[in-house]
Structure 1
Amino acid sequence: MIVHPLTDDDLANRSDLLTRDDVELLVRSFYRYAAMDELLGPIFAAAHVAWDDHVATLTDFWAWQLLGERGYTGQPLRAHEPVQARTPFADAHYERWLDLFVSTVDEHFVGDIAELAKHRATKMASALRKLLNGEHGAANEPIELTFATSPAAPCASAPTTYGGKHGR
């Protein structure tokens, strides 16, 4: 969701997500939009989100996912279960979350890591939807690891797919 029209200069000045500061800008911008969104905002309000802590945690998470920076601890999918119990997520919530995330990336960034961010967000939304809906894949369903291996080599951080029951 872009709240102001982007000028040609805005578009020309975008760069890739290269630093932790870039990741924090993405996280802060995205959650500002999400908190004010008419569909997602009520979920955040009902969850009584501590925004400073949430932004710090999500910056750690996305810095790990996109830049390979270690520091995030937690289970991102499981962390949403208490919120789901209070305010169940519908398909429209996942779709809106993803639309806002992709739009926020596109508003601020362009490049390989920006594309990786959108890909990882798509995978996260899908995995979260499945988990919270109680869906589980078959034992031999391939899985995709979604962590960056090196900030200097974003192409090397492309997902690796493992098949079979031992890939989990």
Structure 2
Amino acid sequence: MPEPRIEVSPEQIARVVARFYERIRAHPGLGPVFAAHVTDWPAHEARIAAFWESAILGRPGYRGSPVRLHRDARDVRPGMFAPWLALFDMTLREELPPETAAAWSALAHRIGRTLRAGVTERETLPGGIPKLL
């Protein structure tokens, strides 16, 4: 196994993911979007925990294309990533030591920029012209 990118345990990852999705479900703007796509919350949380275990700990197990999933979800908009990341940052700060929270937050923001770019690309034509239909 490779060295972990961040000193965090699988149990801490699972706890952060569970708490984050509690917040997402309660959020007035993000909750309905997630509810439209997630029908099995425990399975979704396990999948996202596997994603983070792969990204942080180098563990195998996650299979998928987050950029494609977010790009193809027609109701995910670029402006949703700021509140999404703010909720994630809040959760990290409450659940983890400061250094661990900061390192994971930096990784999450890099990934968030990639996801936002995929969604933005879906909504623009060559040259950055917005798609209106």
Deviation of 1:17 after TM superposition, in Å, equals 5.5
Deviation of 1:67 after TM superposition, in Å, equals 1.8
Q: In the alignment, which residue of structure 2 is the partner of 1:77?
A: 67
The structure in which a higher percent of residues are helix is: 2
Query: What is the aligned counterpart of 2:77 among 86, 89, 94?
Result: 89
Q: Are residues 1:119 and 2:109 paired?
A: no
Unmatched 5+ stretches in structure 1: 1-15, 136-168
Q: Are residues 1:45 and 2:35 paired?
A: yes
Q: In structure 2, what residue type is equivalent to 1:42?
A: P
Deviation of 1:24 after TM superposition, in Å, equals 0.2
Q: From the superposition, tell whether residues 41 and 106 of structure 1 become closer, same or farther in structure 2 (CA, over 3 Å).
A: same
TM-score for both structures, normalised by structure 2 = 0.79
Q: In the alignment, which residue of structure 1 is the partner of 2:130?
A: none
Deviation of 1:98 after TM superposition, in Å, equals 0.4
8 A contact 1:17–1:111 mirrored in 2: no
Q: From the superposition, tell whether residues 109 and 17 of structure 1 become closer, same or farther in structure 2 (CA, over 3 Å).
A: farther
Write out aligned runs for 1:2-41 (5 A): 18-41=8-31
What RMSD, in angstroms, separates the aligned Cα atoms of the two structures?
A: 1.9
8 A contact 2:70–2:118 mirrored in 1: no
Q: In the alignment, which residue of structure 2 is the partner of 1:108?
A: 95
What SS does structure 2 have at the residue aligned with 1:62?
Answer: helix
Using the alignment, how far apart are the partners of 1:71 and 1:115 within structure 2? 25
